[in-house]
Amino acid sequence: MTTLGENRRLPHVQIRELKDDYCEFLLSDTDPSVANALRRIMQVEVPTIAIDLVEIEENTTVLNDEFIAHRLGLVPLVSNAVSSMTGVFETAGESGFMDVEMTLNVKCTSDETMEVTSNDLQLDPNHPEVCPVGYSHDAFDPEKKGILLVKMRKNQELKLRAIARKGIGKDHAKWIPVATVSFQYMPEITINRALMDTLSEQEREDFVKASPTPVFRYNNITKQVETDHIEQYHWDGEALAKAEELGKPGLVTIKERQDMFIFRVEGTGVLKAEDVVITALDVLHRKLYTLQTSLPEQDDVAPLPGVQ
Amino acid sequence: MVEAPRSLEELVRPHIDSFDYFIGEGLQNVVELLKPVEIEQPGTLRRARVWFESPRVARPLKDDAGGAADKRLFPRDCREAGTTYKGAFHLDIMVQDAGGGPAHRLTRLMGHLPIMLRSTACYLRHLTPAQLVARKEEAMEVGGYFICNGLERIIRMLIQQRRHYVMGLRRSAYQKRGPTFTDVATLLRCVRRDESSATVRCHYLRDGTASFAFTIGRAEYFVPVGVLLKCFLEVSDHEIFTRLLALIPQDPGGGDTAMADRVERLLQAAAQLGLHTRVQCLEYLGSLFRGIIEAPAHLTDLQAGEMLLREYVLIHLSQPADKLQALLSMTAKLFAVAAGLCTEDNADALSSHETLLPGSLLSKFMADKLAECLSIFKRQVLQDYEKLPEQVDLRNPIYVKRIADRMPDIGKKVEYLLNTGNLVSNNTLDLSQATGFTVVAEKLNFFRYLSHFRAIHRGAYFAQLRTTTVRKLLPESWGFLCPVHTPDGAPCGLLSHLTATCRIVAAPPDSPEDSQHAVAAVAASLGMVPATPALAPPACPQYIGVHLDGRPIGFVESRSAARLAARLRAIKAARLASEQGRLPANLPPLQGPETLVPPDLEVALVPYERGGPFPGLFLFTSPARMIRPVVQLPGGSSELIGTLEQVNLHIRCPDGTDEVAGMSGVRYSHAEINCAAMLSVVASLTPYSDFNQSPRNMYQCQMGKQTMGTPSQTVRHRTDAKLYRLQTPQTPIARTKRYDEYHMDEFPSGTNMIVAVLAYTGYDMEDAMILNRSAVDRGLSHGTLFKTEGLDLREDKGKTMVFAAEKKSDRDRPQERPRGAFGQDLPHPLTSPPASSAVTGPLKVKPQGVQKNDERIDVDGLPHVGAVVYPSQAYYSKVDCTTGKAKTGALKGEEVAVVDQVAIVGTAEPSLQRANVLLRLNRNPVVGDKFSSRHGQKGVLSQLWPDINMPFVAGTGMRPDLIINPHAFPSRMTIGMLMESLVSKAGAVQGKFVNGSPFQDADGVGSTQQLVKVASDALEEAGFSRLGGETLISGVTGDEFVADIYIGPVYYQRLRHMVSDKFQVRSTGPVNALTHQPIKGRKFGGGIRFGEMERDALLAHGAAYLLHDRLHTSSDYAVMDACASCGSILTPLLHPAETAGVGAHLLAMQGADSKGQVVCRVCKTGRAIARVALPFVLKYLVTELAAMNIKCTFTIRQ
């Protein structure tokens, strides 16, 4: 398998799992810099919507104004409408809207402790699609309780206006669209067959057991050691140590492949994991385009192929 | 609401019990033991006797309540109003004719005594948590402190010498007492029921005799022991001789004639003075001392001598026979120590110490002050007898009341003592210091608050001592004082903390005499030979003395002493069990006097050993002793042991062997309850402290007390000048048992951070640490500083002020934009004008433009709750009633504040005069703030990296919250932190809290191997590496790290040292008017001194330009005129053009401009004037010298 050459510019993506809040894919035929760039962009440059300005009219709760404002900011808002919004630092005059205004007006009148949650937020009538994740008015479903903002006792009151805006994670963590996004190098394990043949069957089985993760498998039929779940390899070095112990250094060689990465994107509900990836690629593309157009034109540089 | 656990109340018990005893029985004792004064009418023999009776302390009441139904004064009222929580103190003044007849009683208010919270005189005593909360108190309020002028102050516990135990000492200072004095002395601290005490000494003299020293007032007096011995009873010299010899521990049959010689010579001292009988001796002493002890004239010398013995010699005993016995044992020990028959005692060991409790201090003080009151009363009456004898009528209550009004306000004096910690008295009160008795119980966080109650100080005297011997940790303090919890630096070893299990006997038994009789009776029934004045004691060491609270009560055969002690212990343990409401089967049933033996009786058996400590069985029932529970070994019942007692016990440690180490065949008589018994509360909260290098645990004890956490649950009702609070605290995953025991979760003080041990960018070198900025964005370690600003309009002297807003015309005046630290505009203007209507429209947030006060100040002159105040903006306004002019108060400091609460103090009638404004300052982490783990690993925040730049775990994508450098570990050896990380990680994946108590191996809870194995298994099961390491990928380059990185959750504390309080920078700013040099002081915008040593450094580098810049250009650079012809810099003066006068045409020729011309006053010409740049301070120097007739000339060349 070639790691360098023309293929470098033609990465491949193989999707392994795709759910609303989780996406796992294999990025191959590229190098770590591209993988890392993609990760960084997914994390902090995919725009989302979050509450940014809070005007407090009445607050007699136990939490102070800044604290409540901060908590509101961290409430994840469904951000599918973000593409039609304009950020504060973006050029004015673009067609999108800038503010989504939510209000919160609750007062505890009962003797019991009242929980104010994200479900108590009243949405902007112009943009009802921008709402807290899991927003629901089903008071009886404990699954849909909403995100707790503050607890109240009798006669406490909270009245405020909150303005949600478009933003990116670079400015504040509340705009980060994912819980985690990470990639992992695909290990490459080669078994030295010649050396392996010198081991007894018992030794082979011991060797397989030495690894804490099921990286190797002992094939009962062929009596051979085979690689199994390679990507679960922990870089623990146990197998290598076992090989040393058996007096067979070089029994296996383990390398990390520099051209294949397992990506895992875990969403927060703000955006679909899939959308995060696609937007990130889009942002990356735009960045490269900007770079390309601002570089002085040189004839011998071929134009960048489109990144899919 | 969580009730304060018993264990927590137990921690402040010594304070509260001691105060309870003081305001009840203690005061009664003080008054009873106070010597009545006798006032003799001149010319007649009629004498009147005056004394006090029935002291009473009332609960605090409001004095300005008016007609209000509830006059009760609650602690919270005092805190908010900055007043003292105090209750009325009444006494009855009794006047009686000395010849007999009826006593007249006059009740008088002697002032108001500060009341300790949760004492019997406090309203909070029996309140439930819900009731406490309703009173705006902490639900877990435990009390133990006073509120003085709004501050919470406590009386600090001090270590002092153990009472009623004869100590034999060798001190070179004793030789300075006189020419024949040696360095050997025995010493006895005698304490009476009212806690007044006197230390007496027996000095060994070079001629083999002894001298008895006692203190009257502040002076020391010496009496030959031979004379004193004959004063108590009518006993023959031979009797004293045999008794004394019998008390000295000598080997049987040794027949040391030298010792007999000494005793003989001692007794000859009296004979040499011609004193043979008791009466002669007493009369001799009486005649010598009657002036000093102010004996009344009508007393004979004999009576004066008796008075001397009663009031100054061995005052803890009342019977002369007991005093004689006590003096004999003092002398016997003196001779034994001098002859080397027994060792001297260690005055620095805890076994010879006890505590000075708040109640004792107040008792002593009160006794002194009440005696002063009586003497003032007497002086006044005597004065009246001289001036207006016809008015004096001590039977007339009106006259008595008039005289009594001259007595000082006792309450004020006690208040002064509590406010300042200074003890004002004419005599020393047998205390080693006069200041520093009280401290403020700061509520910085709960750790610090609690430690105030457990702290015990060795005494201010020892702080100045050059030697470090007193600071050493001695084995005697095992189990009583925490070896870990002492500060480093100046008070190291002097300020210790009691262990969590250590208690203090705060009060004597309910009826001390009955208990003492019971103990003596029990001892007698168990084989003690009672001491009788008639009988010569059996010889030591076959028999050893039995002493009960400093009174020799008998003798016990050496062989059976241990059995007697064991039996007493059994009784003691049974009493403790029955007091706790349980009766284990293995303890004997108690009968007769046994039921009166106090459970905290100290049974210190010092067996005879040649050359060992002075033998005896010392029993103590007295208060102020430190005691702690241990387990009796056969049986397993609990017993309270004291410090002197412990020294001679064999107590098995949890990891000990079956037999006493180094003594084969000897079994342990006791065992420790568990390993935590040796630790203080704060020290026992460090998880896995047994894995750390010991100084690290000491550092943690310090830093735990500086942590920003949850100081109180009633922040709104508190008026502390500064209060730090962590916004998002967490409970630690790895916690010790004590953490739960003391309900520390009510006051959490840190955050579980994911810590990666890794050298990442160089920004983690030298104890710097990198924090994840995105985590901080999400609320990690967010903190708040609360400041209370007390507004008091009464401070404007001579004016009548009211809180009110400024008048309209004033308010229309546009305010200047507030300025920040570097002169920048506040609030920060947005970089681009907001396009959104939300900002400029209905929200009315004006980022640019004028700020008016009425955005913050209400019509009542006080700020709105929630108002944002920028530095130097007004936040309240007051109006002068006479002139109608308004004055505003501006916010001090450089930080933006938010008004959190506005509390009105006192009544609004006739007009509101006082208010407390609680301001809230945001203190979120910034570069330069200090953090620490619980293992003495502190560090300074050096970078806030965003999430993307942090390394991430390849498998899970987890980014650390914090990165510390691996170099923090090898030299410091804080393995506990690594343990915490691993075990917490396992706890986190399993969703369980982990027991992090130290010494789990010894306590049998689990072994280290097991602990690690359980954690590793859990990690493995969850798909992590067994060892806690994980593969990390650089967030910047995307490259995998070669090594696995140790990563896991560690509980981190944010310390209160923050850059916002400390940074000091200056470009330009205020200068000193005299020298024009920059002023010093952070508060005033001054600079940091560039001093001599810094100058030397620059000189050494040859950095001349830089030096010139620092010392001249950036300092007092001044351009001035100098006259080159006379060389003066003082004489050139500016002549304005129009007033040039005489030489105008001359000047015009010299080219004077419109502003005028600089002319030298001496040379009368401006021709030689040169402009030079000099330090301004030089001009000042030259001027000063000129004033002293010294002329300075400068040579000026082009």
Percent above pLDDT 70 for chain B: 92
- For A214, the closest chain B residue by CA position comes to B1023
SS3 sequence, B180-223? CEEEEEEEEEEECCCCCEEEEEEEEECCCCEEEEEEECCEEEEE
Over 80: is that where the pLDDT of A96 sits?
A: no
pLDDT digits (tens, 9 = 90+) for B141-184: 899 999 999 899 999 999 999 999 999 999 999 999 889 999 99
Of A104-113, B256-265, B521-530, the least confident: B256-265
Strands B874-880 and B886-890 turn out to be antiparallel
The domain boundary residue, chosen from B1039, B1055, B1071? B1055
Give the pLDDT mean for B595-617: 89
Same domain, B393 and B342: no
Per-residue model confidence (pLDDT) at position B783: 92
Sheet of A48-59, strand order? A48-59, A157-167, A100-107
Q: Where are the domains of chain A?
A: 18-46+177-184+259-308, 48-176
**In the structure, what pLDDT confidence band is assigned to residue B846 with cuts at 50, 70 and 90?**
very low
**Which A residues 87-106 touch B at CB under 8 Å?**
88-89, 92, 98-99, 101
Give the minimum alpha-carbon distance from B896 to chain A in angstroms, rounded to a whole number.
13
Cα B1065 to Cα B1067: distance, rounded to the nearest angstrom: 7
Same domain, B974 and B882: no
Per-residue model confidence (pLDDT) at position B1146: 54
A180 touches chain B (CB under 8 A): yes
Give the pLDDT mean for B2-21: 87
Cα B550 to Cα B314: distance, rounded to the nearest angstrom: 9
H helix and E strand count, chain A? 6, 11
Cα B182 to Cα B206: distance, rounded to the nearest angstrom: 6
Same domain, B557 and B662: yes
- With the CA atoms of B622, B626, B631 and B635 taken in that order, what torsion angle do they form, in degrees rounded to the nearest 10? 0
Which candidate from B782, B838, B1038 shows the least CB-CB separation from A101?
B838
B166-196 CB burial, b ≥16 within 10 A, e <16: bbbbeeeebeebeeebbbbbbbbbbbbbbbb
Of A222 and B941, the structure prediction assigns the larger pLDDT to B941
pLDDT digits (tens, 9 = 90+) for B1181-1195: 999 999 999 999 999
Per-residue model confidence (pLDDT) at position A232: 74
- The residues, any chain, with a CB within 8 Å of residue A278's CB and separated by 6 or more, are none
**Which A residues 17-36 touch B at CB under 8 Å?**
32-33, 35-36
* Averaged confidence pLDDT in chain A: 84
Which candidate from B774, B1039, B1040 shows the least CB-CB separation from A176?
B774
Is the residue at B480 inside a domain?
no
A173 touches chain B (CB under 8 A): yes
Contact B957 A74 (CB under 8 A): no
Over 70: is that where the pLDDT of A253 sits?
A: yes
Give the minimum alpha-carbon distance from B919 to chain A in angstroms, rounded to a whole number.
12
Give the minimum alpha-carbon distance from A198 to chain B in angstroms, rounded to a whole number.
30
Give the pLDDT mean for A102-110: 92
Of A8-12, A143-147, B561-565, B820-824, the least confident: B820-824
Burial class of residue A167 (count of CB atoms within 10 Å of its CB; 0-12, 13-18, 19+): buried
Over 80: is that where the pLDDT of B255 sits?
A: no
Contact A55 B843 (CB under 8 A): yes
Same domain, B631 and B520: yes
pLDDT digits (tens, 9 = 90+) for B963-1000: 999 999 999 999 999 999 999 999 999 999 999 989 88
Give the minimum alpha-carbon distance from A112 to chain B in angstroms, rounded to a whole number.
15
Over 70: is that where the pLDDT of B825 sits?
A: no
Same domain, B320 and B301: yes
Per-residue model confidence (pLDDT) at position B273: 85
Per-residue model confidence (pLDDT) at position B808: 60
For chains A and B, count residue pairs whose Cβ atoms are closer than 8 Å.
109
- Please report residues of B whose CB lies closer than 8 A to that of A64: 784, 898, 900, 920
Cα B28 to Cα B196: distance, rounded to the nearest angstrom: 13
Per-residue model confidence (pLDDT) at position B584: 62
Full residue range of the structural domain in which residue B1154 is found: 1112-1187
Percent above pLDDT 90 for chain B: 41
Is the residue at B1097 inside a domain?
no
- Please report residues of B whose CB lies closer than 8 A to that of A170: 946
pLDDT digits (tens, 9 = 90+) for B33-66: 998 888 888 877 788 888 999 999 999 998 765 6
Over 50: is that where the pLDDT of B842 sits?
A: no
The domain boundary residue, chosen from B338, B354, B370? B354
Give the pLDDT mean for B114-126: 92
Contact A236 B1025 (CB under 8 A): yes
Contact A174 B778 (CB under 8 A): yes
- Residue with the two structure tokens 């920059």: B1078
Number of domains in chain B: 6
Over 50: is that where the pLDDT of B840 sits?
A: no
- With the CA atoms of B29, B35, B41 and B45 taken in that order, what torsion angle do they form, in degrees rounded to the nearest 10? 110
Per-residue model confidence (pLDDT) at position B835: 44
DSSP H/E element including B606: strand B602-606
- Please report residues of A whose CB lies closer than 8 A to that of B777: 172-174
Give the minimum alpha-carbon distance from B872 to chain A in angstroms, rounded to a whole number.
21
Give the pLDDT mean for B367-382: 90
Residue A40 phi, psi dihedral angles, 5° rounding: -60, -40
Over 80: is that where the pLDDT of A48 sits?
A: yes
Per-residue model confidence (pLDDT) at position A92: 62
Strands B768-772 and B938-945 turn out to be parallel
Same domain, B170 and B139: no
A66 touches chain B (CB under 8 A): yes
Cα B731 to Cα B725: distance, rounded to the nearest angstrom: 15
Over 90: is that where the pLDDT of B858 sits?
A: no
**In the structure, what pLDDT confidence band is assigned to residue B849 with cuts at 50, 70 and 90?**
very low
Is the residue at B549 inside a domain?
yes
Residue B137 and residue B80 in contact, taking contact as beta carbons nearer than 8 Å: no
pLDDT digits (tens, 9 = 90+) for B893-948: 888 889 998 988 877 667 788 889 999 999 999 999 999 999 999 999 999 999 99
**In the structure, what pLDDT confidence band is assigned to residue B587 with cuts at 50, 70 and 90?**
low
B1109 secondary structure, DSSP code = I
Of A46 and B589, the structure prediction assigns the larger pLDDT to A46
* Averaged confidence pLDDT in chain B: 86
Same domain, B958 and B856: no
A257 touches chain B (CB under 8 A): no
Over 70: is that where the pLDDT of A50 sits?
A: yes
Contact B948 A55 (CB under 8 A): no
Superfamily of domain covering A48-176: DNA-directed RNA polymerase, insert domain (2.170.120.12)
Burial class of residue B619 (count of CB atoms within 10 Å of its CB; 0-12, 13-18, 19+): buried
Q: Residue B242 is encoded by which pair of tokens?
A: 């045999």
Chain A interface disruption, residue of B133, B774, B869, B1021, most A CBs within 10 A: B774
Same domain, B349 and B249: yes
Ranges assigned E (strand) in B45-122: 47-57, 86-97, 103-114
pLDDT digits (tens, 9 = 90+) for B1119-1131: 988 888 888 888 8
Residue A269 and residue A245 in contact, taking contact as beta carbons nearer than 8 Å: no
- For B832, the closest chain A residue by CA position comes to A89
**In the structure, what pLDDT confidence band is assigned to residue B104 with cuts at 50, 70 and 90?**
confident
pLDDT digits (tens, 9 = 90+) for A164-220: 999 999 999 999 999 999 998 888 888 878 777 787 878 777 777 777 777 787 777
Q: What is the CATH number of the domain that holds B261?
A: 3.90.1110.10
Give the pLDDT mean for B259-285: 86
Residue B914 and residue B81 in contact, taking contact as beta carbons nearer than 8 Å: yes
Contact A92 B1037 (CB under 8 A): no
Over 90: is that where the pLDDT of B1092 sits?
A: yes
Per-residue model confidence (pLDDT) at position B834: 44
Is the residue at B269 inside a domain?
yes
Q: Residue B544 is encoded by which pair of tokens?
A: 């050893």
Same domain, B47 and B17: yes
Is the residue at B1075 inside a domain?
no
Same domain, B778 and B788: no
Is the residue at B1067 inside a domain?
no
- For A59, the closest chain B residue by CA position comes to B866
A188 touches chain B (CB under 8 A): no
Cα B926 to Cα B1133: distance, rounded to the nearest angstrom: 54
Contact A36 B1037 (CB under 8 A): yes
Cα B21 to Cα B508: distance, rounded to the nearest angstrom: 9
Contact A44 B947 (CB under 8 A): yes
What architecture (CATH level 2) is domain A18-46+177-184+259-308? Answer: 2-Layer Sandwich (3.30)
- Please report residues of A whose CB lies closer than 8 A to that of B947: 43-44, 169, 173, 176
Q: Is A49 helix (H, G, I), strand (E, B) or coil?
A: strand
Per-residue model confidence (pLDDT) at position A1: 41
pLDDT digits (tens, 9 = 90+) for A124-142: 888 888 999 888 877 677 7
**In the structure, what pLDDT confidence band is assigned to residue B1154 with cuts at 50, 70 and 90?**
low
Is the residue at B844 inside a domain?
no
- Please report residues of B whose CB lies closer than 8 A to that of A161: 843
- Please report residues of A whose CB lies closer than 8 A to that of B837: 99
Over 60: is that where the pLDDT of B1014 sits?
A: yes
Same domain, B917 and B931: no
Is the residue at B997 inside a domain?
yes
Chain B interface disruption, residue of A27, A30, A33, A40, most B CBs within 10 A: A40
Residue B890, CB-side half-sphere exposure with 13 Å CA sphere: 13
Per-residue model confidence (pLDDT) at position A3: 46
- Please report residues of A whose CB lies closer than 8 A to that of B948: 39-40, 43-44, 169
Q: What ipTM, to 2 d.p.?
A: 0.88
Per-residue model confidence (pLDDT) at position B583: 66
Give the pLDDT mean for B667-696: 91
Per-residue model confidence (pLDDT) at position B585: 60
User: Which residue, among B700, B671, B275, B331, has the nearest Cα to B487 in the 3D structure?
Assistant: B700
Contact B777 A174 (CB under 8 A): yes
Per-residue model confidence (pLDDT) at position B831: 42
CA-only gyration radius of chain B, Å: 38
pTM: 0.87
Over 90: is that where the pLDDT of A235 sits?
A: no
Give the minimum alpha-carbon distance from A46 to chain B in angstroms, rounded to a whole number.
13
Give the minimum alpha-carbon distance from A173 to chain B in angstroms, rounded to a whole number.
5
Same domain, B350 and B241: yes
